[in-house]
């Protein structure tokens, strides 16, 4: 029978009989021993079938050999492992990344609480797949995938993710193009509204800076006083999303004015040294720390865009507006990259199309009404063979 182990070969007299398959029975269930985290442990195959038990043990031995054997954390509750993981992230990643991870972890803690980690990978990760499906009714695909990334990192810390990596996949994220660009009328309405709102001063000045330099919000937040040279009308980006983002940007009069307002505000808040941030962080006691950068202007920005009749407008869309303007002006690709920094292939293709359309609109203006009347009906349809 398949659930009966073959009798071992009798050992010579006086010698201990060897266990050739590494299995032994305990209360009818096959068990085996394996070194886990440097210690020998007895593990259950959870089966009474001998052939199945051999496969379980062989898989475990191979997992241990390749470094994929789950650690003792597999039996620990999700919330405890997540707490330790988040504490380690605090000292190993940037403050912004840590804050994002902490936010993405909240719904996961609510969903899985004190469930053991091994339950999350049981049945091909059915719990995680159900979580993904449930969250689609609450958040977009991008947020859903970010939360799955946090769960994956936690499971990796216990060497459990490999079990389900072929079963639990990220959701397909819709491609919405490189972003939204404001029309001339929309931009004018936005700035007119900003000038009338005292609570939107910082968002106003930073917005003007972004739309006139193509800077990202994160780049503006991490500007230090030493990066700004109002006399030479330029600023230096020393910290960016990519290496290509490190650059020098000349300032036009509008960007220079906005920066001057931010420099004056920074001085009032105690930022006087070159290493101090242009946007000092506001603390809980309403004071400011110039040694730390501002984290967000989200609330002020949302209030401003709603008041201007532009709900949903992202601050990052100001960067797209700036790049669109450069494209419409026919700026060469190399010059655009020097100003903007990194541009993905998709964005370059998009803005290349803008440049072609801008040129097409320009040459159309050369065709005067008098010239059109002069040639009149003398223009015959083009021969298809000529076009080809």
User: How do residues 50-89 score in pLDDT, each as one tens digit?
Assistant: 988 888 888 778 766 665 555 667 888 999 999 999 999 9
Q: First vs last Cα of the chain: how many Å apart?
A: 77
Domain boundary among 69, 85, 104: 69
- Same domain flag for 154 and 190: no
Q: Do 287 and 275 meet the contact criterion of CB atoms below 8 Å apart?
A: no
- Same domain flag for 47 and 145: no
Q: Residue 342: what pLDDT?
A: 76
Residue 372 forms part of a structural domain: no
Residue 178 forms part of a structural domain: no
- DSSP tag of 180: -
Q: Which residues contact 164 (CB under 8 A, 6 or more apart)?
A: 121, 124, 125, 128, 155
Q: Residue 34: what pLDDT?
A: 79
Q: Which residues face 277 on adjacent strands?
A: 224
Indicate which CATH number applies to the domain containing 112.
Answer: 1.10.150
pTM: 0.60
- Same domain flag for 118 and 214: no
- Same domain flag for 108 and 33: no
Residue 5 forms part of a structural domain: no
Q: Do 358 and 329 meet the contact criterion of CB atoms below 8 Å apart?
A: yes
Confidence of residue 241 (pLDDT cuts 50, 70, 90): low
Q: Residue 388: what pLDDT?
A: 47
Residue-wise pLDDT for 95-128, tens only, equals: 878 989 999 999 999 999 999 998 998 888 999 9
- DSSP tag of 172: P
Percentage of the chain exceeding pLDDT 90: 50
Q: Residue 178: what pLDDT?
A: 65
Residue 354 forms part of a structural domain: yes
Indicate which CATH number applies to the domain containing 306.
Answer: 1.10.443.10
Residue 140 forms part of a structural domain: yes
Choice between 38 and 235, residue whose per-residue pLDDT is larger: 235
Half-sphere exposure for 289 (CA within 13 Å, toward CB): 9
User: Does 10 have pLDDT greater than 60?
Assistant: no
Residue-wise pLDDT for 347-378, tens only, equals: 777 776 676 777 777 777 776 665 555 555 55
Residue-wise pLDDT for 11-20, tens only, equals: 454 444 445 6
Residue 29 forms part of a structural domain: yes
Q: Residue 332: what pLDDT?
A: 84
- Same domain flag for 204 and 352: yes
- Same domain flag for 188 and 265: yes
Residue 380 forms part of a structural domain: no
Residue 176 forms part of a structural domain: no
Tell me whether strands 247-250 and 228-229 are parallel, antiparallel or unpaired: unpaired
Helix axes 95-112, 141-157, angle to 10 degrees: 90
Q: Residue 358: what pLDDT?
A: 72
Q: Residue 16: what pLDDT?
A: 42
| CA–CA gap between residue 240 and residue 126 (Å, rounded) | 39
What is the average per-residue pLDDT within 153-172?
A: 90
Q: What is the span of the domain harbouring residue 284?
A: 184-362
CA distances for 130 relative to 78, 219, 226, 250, angstroms:
17, 38, 51, 51
- Same domain flag for 221 and 260: yes
Q: Do 113 and 79 meet the contact criterion of CB atoms below 8 Å apart?
A: yes
- Same domain flag for 65 and 93: no
Domain tally, the chain: 3
| CA–CA gap between residue 284 and residue 31 (Å, rounded) | 57
Q: Which residues face 116 on adjacent strands?
A: 77
Q: Residue 19: what pLDDT?
A: 55
- Same domain flag for 110 and 144: yes
- DSSP tag of 30: E
| CA–CA gap between residue 274 and residue 224 (Å, rounded) | 7
| Torsion angle defined by CA atoms of residues 71, 75, 76 and 79, in that order, rounded to the nearest 10 degrees | 110
Confidence of residue 157 (pLDDT cuts 50, 70, 90): confident
- Same domain flag for 217 and 358: yes
Domain boundary among 41, 69, 97: 69
- Same domain flag for 38 and 82: no
- Same domain flag for 191 and 322: yes
Q: Where are the alpha helices (DSSP H) in the chain?
A: 50-65, 78-92, 95-112, 117-120, 126-135, 141-157, 184-195, 201-213, 217-221, 253-268, 298-307, 317-328, 333-340, 345-364, 369-375, 384-387
Choice between 178 and 183, residue whose per-residue pLDDT is larger: 183
């Amino acid at each position: 029978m398949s659930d009966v182990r073959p009798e071992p070969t009798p050992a010579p007299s006086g010698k201990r009989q060897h266990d050739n398959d590494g299995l032994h029975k305990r209360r009818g269930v096959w068990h085996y021993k394996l070194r886990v985290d440097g210690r020998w442990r007895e593990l259950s195959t959870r089966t009474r079938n001998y052939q199945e038990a051999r496969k379980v043990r062989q898989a475990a031995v191979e997992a241990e050999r390749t470094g994929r054997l789950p650690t003792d954390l597999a039996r620990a509750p999700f919330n405890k492992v997540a707490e330790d993981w988040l504490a380690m992230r605090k000292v190993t990643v940037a403050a912004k990344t840590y804050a994002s991870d902490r936010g993405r972890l909240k719904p996961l803690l609510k969903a899985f609480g004190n469930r053991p980690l091994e339950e999350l990978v049981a049945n091909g990760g059915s719990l995680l797949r159900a979580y993904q499906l449930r969250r689609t009714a609450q958040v977009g695909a991008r947020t859903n995938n970010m939360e799955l990334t946090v769960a994956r990192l936690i499971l990796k810390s216990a060497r459990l993710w490999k079990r389900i990596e072929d079963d639990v996949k990220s959701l397909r994220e819709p491609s919405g193009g490189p972003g939204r660009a404001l029309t001339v009328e929309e931009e004018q309405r936005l700035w007119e509204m900003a000038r009338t709102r005292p609570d939107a001063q910082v968002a106003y000045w930073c917005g003007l800076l972004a739309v006139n330099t193509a800077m990202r919000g994160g780049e503006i937040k991490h500007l230090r006083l030493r990066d700004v040279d109002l006399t030479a009308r330029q600023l230096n980006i020393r910290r960016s999303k990519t290496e290509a983002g490190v650059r020098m940007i000349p300032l036009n009069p509008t960007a220079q004015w906005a920066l001057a307002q931010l420099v004056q505000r920074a001085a009032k808040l105690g930022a006087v040294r070159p290493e101090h941030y242009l946007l000092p962080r506001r603390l809980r006691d309403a004071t400011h720390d110039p040694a730390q950068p501002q984290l967000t202007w989200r609330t002020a920005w949302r209030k401003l865009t709603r008041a201007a009749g532009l709900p949903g407008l992202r601050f990052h869309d100001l960067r797209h507006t700036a790049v669109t303007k450069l494209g419409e002006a026919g700026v060469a690709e190399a010059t655009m990259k020097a100003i903007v920094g990194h541009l993905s292939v998709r964005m370059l293709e998009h803005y290349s199309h803008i440049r072609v359309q801008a040129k097409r609109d320009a040459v159309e203006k050369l065709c005067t009404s008098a010239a059109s009347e002069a040639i009149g009906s003398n223009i015959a349809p083009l021969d298809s063979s000529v076009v080809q």
